[in-house]
Amino acid sequence: MEILVCVKRVPDTAENEFELNSAGNDLDRDDLVFSVNEWDNYAVEEAIQIVDNVGGSVTVVTVGDDESEEVLRREMAMGANNGVLLSDDAFEGSDGKGIASILKAEVEKGKYDLILTGAQADEGAGQIGGMLAAMLDLPYASLVNKIEAGDGKTVKVGREIEGGNQEMNEIDLPCVLSIQTGINEPRYVGIRGIRKVASVEIPVHSAADLGVDANVIGKDNAKVKRVDYFVPDLGEGAEMLEGSTEEIIDALIEKLKSKGGL
Amino acid sequence: MTQIFAYIPHQGGVAADIALEYPAAAAKIDASSTLTAVVTGSGPDLDKVANGLTSIYKEVIKIDNAALAYPNAEVVRKALVNVLDASAIVFAPNDTFGMDLCPGLSIKMDSAYVADAVDFEGMEGSLLKVVRQELGGAVSTHVTCDTAAGAVITLRPGAFIPVEAGAAGGTIVDKSADAGDLAAKRRFLEIVEAEVGDVDITKSDVLVSVGRGIEEEENIEIAQELAEAMKAVVSCSRPIVDAKWLEKSRQVGTSGQTVKPKVYMAMGISGSFQHMGGIKGNPFIVAVNKNPKAPIFQVADVGIVQDILEFMPELTEKVKSM
Ligand SMILES: Cc1cc2nc3c(=O)[nH]c(=O)nc-3n(C[C@H](O)[C@H](O)[C@H](O)COP(=O)(O)OP(=O)(O)OC[C@H]3O[C@@H](n4cnc5c(N)ncnc54)[C@H](O)[C@@H]3O)c2cc1C
């Protein structure tokens, strides 16, 4: 099975306190810690396990800048066989449809049976897999939490639906699946693994290499554009308990008593 | 005047709650918009849903076909592409079905796509101003969506204030004949129901809920001890289940359990909407998080900025000594 996995370098939500820049219209990006999108690690792990079982190869691809190469290397250290970086100034500011168009051009250069994406990434849109599938006219399933490789013509996949239930489907290959966390346990990547792939060459494909339609990529062609970031204002906000730990605990216990918590 | 189609998921003849939220969302886009409900399905259940919707919507489009009996996103997408006006705005919920359907639908309709809208701030020309969240709710953004050639937009369930079902006196328009060829490369097989766990977190009045802030499997013990002292039960956010530190039946959220405790102690949980979506009945929420900017502090009643690994044992001691 030839498998392509789309991955992304994203700001790490566990490692960062997000602040706005002084203009108040963007994140303060100076000290942000980046990592591989959480969902993508599950997708790559799943691809590796499928290939371990039925043979084939795993290629990881990302649309990004030079720094995105590090996520390709990390996923290759996990066990992906190849990495491809899709990079061009013309890609900057693309909306979901633009990114999916760039990925489509790369998919068409190869011959893949299975294309995986993470269920969602930093923007929380969960859009790339479904868009890519529709552009390629391939069947799609989102939030996949189980894959049973079948006869090479179809796969059986479980989708996560509300309430912890699972929807089983049979899908014709080739197809696109977006992978939900929990489908497997992504393997640990040690420093040795990273070192092993440190000097592997990663091809970089530009807009011209890919032959991407210039009318769908970049900021000018994006139908959906981010205007600014702001700090959410959801409700009144919590009453913050302050003071020494002991004072906080005393105050908390009083509240818990009055609310039926103790 | 903006034409909006609202896709209404349903189950067992009952429309999803979001059917009551779409009208408020439509009004925020354009007070003079025309809003049409769209339902797909098959047989008496579909008729029941369509009839019910006439009390909320002036027009209800129904597409009845045996292939639509189960909401297979690929099949539903084909039917919608054949029936709906591609230059309109299409609403769907940002839930597991909407996520499956809508990105591809936007491509096939050649329209713009915005996922998980939590608010609208009106239209300027063809540009719709939408509020979304990124990074698990840590930051909000305004995006503009060019609706000139149509748009597919998923709405976060619960983000818009539901209207009361009244007497809209709507009419049902049967578009079943326009659905076209609904053959699919993806075939629905069955639903596998969630496993029942050893503890029923939905029955507990007090939950000590742990998130990724618990850091390691051994530390679950610390929460367990606090829960025992409080006569509570331990529940958790999804990453804890993904890591197999607790079983799935302990997970609170849209893809886990819906709980209605009196008190909810969120320990090291950031407060993503999928997690909060599982907490109903307006409990008293206590959030302990070492990040003062964690989104949970915007929805909690009481917030404490502390390391849970130090805070929980101290709280346990104090409760035990009472
Ligand atoms: C379709 C879909 C369905 C989903 N369904 C669910 C669901 O049902 N339930 C669910 O929970 N999630 C669900 N999720 C995942 C959800 O989006 C979040 O990823 C998840 O809820 C985050 O869990 P968390 O808050 O524990 O982790 P994080 O977001 O990583 O937050 C951890 C928090 O702990 C804090 N912290 C870290 N260390 C400490 C410490 N020592 N002391 C105090 N605080 C600390 C951090 O500041 C942070 O705020 C779903 C996602 C998708 C896409």
By CA distance, what is B101's nearest residue in A?
A: A130
Tell me which residue has its CA closest to atom 1 in ligand 1: B96
By CA distance, what is A37's nearest residue in B?
A: B135
Distance of alpha carbon A117 from its chain centroid, rounded?
6
- How many whole angstroms separate alpha carbon B96 and alpha carbon A57? 30
* pLDDT over threshold 90, residue A16: no
How near does any CA of chain A get to the CA of B119, in Å?
11
**What is the rounded average pLDDT of the residues B278-303?**
95
Reported as a single tens digit per residue, the pLDDT across B102-125 is: 999 999 999 999 999 999 999 999
Indicate the SS3 state at residue B92: strand
Reported as a single tens digit per residue, the pLDDT across B5-59 is: 999 999 999 999 999 999 999 999 999 999 999 999 999 999 999 999 999 999 9
Q: Is A124 within a domain?
A: yes
- With a Cβ cut-off of 6 Å, ligand 1 is lined by A 13-14, 119-120, 143; B 96, 136, 211-213, 215, 237-239, 251-256, 268-270, 272, 274-275, 278, 289-291, 294, 307-309
Could you tell me if A247 lies within 8 Å of chain B, comparing CB atoms?
no
Q: Ligand 1 centre and the CA of A94: distance in Å?
A: 28
Least confident range of A19-28, B243-252, B287-296: A19-28
Where do the domains of chain B lie? 3-178, 201-321
* pLDDT over threshold 90, residue A21: no
φ, ψ of residue A221 to 5 degrees: the values are -95, 0
Relative to beta strand B59-64, strand B34-41 is parallel
Residues of B in contact with A238 (CB under 8 A): 285, 287, 297-303
- How many whole angstroms separate alpha carbon B312 and alpha carbon B270? 17
> What is the tally of structural domains in chain A?
1
Residue that wins the pLDDT comparison between B198 and A244: A244
* pLDDT over threshold 80, residue A24: no
By CA distance, what is A223's nearest residue in B?
A: B146
Sign (positive or negative) of CA dihedral B154, B157, B158, B162: positive
* pLDDT over threshold 80, residue A129: yes
- Distant-in-sequence, close-in-space partners of B289: CB < 8 Å, separation ≥ 6: B213, B266, B268, B269, B270, B296, B297, B303, B304, B305, B308
- What is the complex's ipTM, to 2 decimals? 0.96
Question: Which residue numbers of B belong to the known binding site for FAD?
Answer: 212, 237-238, 251-255, 268-275, 289, 307-308
What is residue A18's predicted lDDT score, i.e. its pLDDT?
A: 86
Beta bridge partners of B236: B210, B251
**How is chain B split among helix, strand and coil, in percent rounded to 5?**
30, 30, 35
Beta bridge partners of A240: B303
Fold of B3-178: Rossmann fold (3.40.50)
Reported as a single tens digit per residue, the pLDDT across A73-118 is: 999 999 999 999 999 999 999 999 999 999 999 999 999 999 999 9
3-state secondary structure labels for all residues of A172-241: ECCEEEEECCCCCCCCCCCHHHHHHCCCCCCCEECHHHHCCCCCCCCHHHCCEEEEEEECCCCCCCCEEC
What is residue A234's predicted lDDT score, i.e. its pLDDT?
A: 56
Q: Is A136 within a domain?
A: yes
What is residue B86's predicted lDDT score, i.e. its pLDDT?
A: 93
Confidence of residue A128 (pLDDT cuts 50, 70, 90): very high
**What is the rounded average pLDDT of the residues B200-223?**
97
Check CB contact under 8 Å for A97 and B291: no
Look-up: residue for tokens 């900025």?
B305
Beta bridge partners of A60: A5, A83
Tell me which residue has its CA closest to atom 50 in ligand 1: B274
Reported as a single tens digit per residue, the pLDDT across A139-163 is: 999 999 999 987 889 999 999 999 9
Could you tell me if A33 lies within 8 Å of chain B, comparing CB atoms?
no
Domain, as residue range, for A54? 2-221
What is residue A235's predicted lDDT score, i.e. its pLDDT?
A: 62
Q: Which of A95, A143, A223, A256 to mutate to test the interface with B (most CBs of B within 10 A)?
A: A223
- CB atoms inside a 10 Å sphere around CB A215: 10
Reported as a single tens digit per residue, the pLDDT across B139-186 is: 999 999 999 999 999 999 999 999 998 888 999 999 999 999 999 999
Token pair in block for residue A2? 């030839």
Check CB contact under 8 Å for B301 and A185: no
Confidence of residue A31 (pLDDT cuts 50, 70, 90): confident
Confidence of residue A233 (pLDDT cuts 50, 70, 90): low
Token pair in block for residue B123? 């239209």
**What is the rounded average pLDDT of the residues B290-294?**
91
By CA distance, what is A159's nearest residue in B?
A: B96
Distance of alpha carbon B279 from its chain centroid, rounded?
12
Report field, pTM of the whole predicted structure over 0.90: yes
Interface of A with B in 104-133 (CB under 8 A): 119, 122-131, 133
Interface of A with B in 181-200 (CB under 8 A): 181-182, 185
Confidence of residue A15 (pLDDT cuts 50, 70, 90): confident
Q: Is A30 within a domain?
A: yes
Q: Which of B75, B94, B97, B139 to mutate to test the interface with A (most CBs of A within 10 A)?
A: B139
* pLDDT over threshold 80, residue A232: no
Is B237 in contact with B253 (CB distance < 8 Å)?
yes
**CATH for A11:** 3.40.50.620
- How far does chain B reach from its first CA to its final CA, in angstroms? 64
- Distant-in-sequence, close-in-space partners of A34: CB < 8 Å, separation ≥ 6: A9, A10, A11, A12, A67
Indicate the SS3 state at residue A13: coil
**CATH fold match for the domains B3-178 and B201-321:** yes
Check CB contact under 8 Å for A124 and B115: yes
Which CATH architecture is the domain B201-321 placed in? 3-Layer(aba) Sandwich (3.40)
**What is the rounded average pLDDT of the residues B246-261?**
97
Which long-range CB contacts under 8 A does A50-57 form with residues at least 24 apart?
A: A50/A1, A50/A3, A50/A114, A50/A147, A50/A149, A51/A1, A51/A3, A53/A149, A54/A1, A54/A149, A55/A1, A56/A1, A56/A2, A56/A3, A56/A113, A57/A2, A57/A3, A57/A81, A57/A82
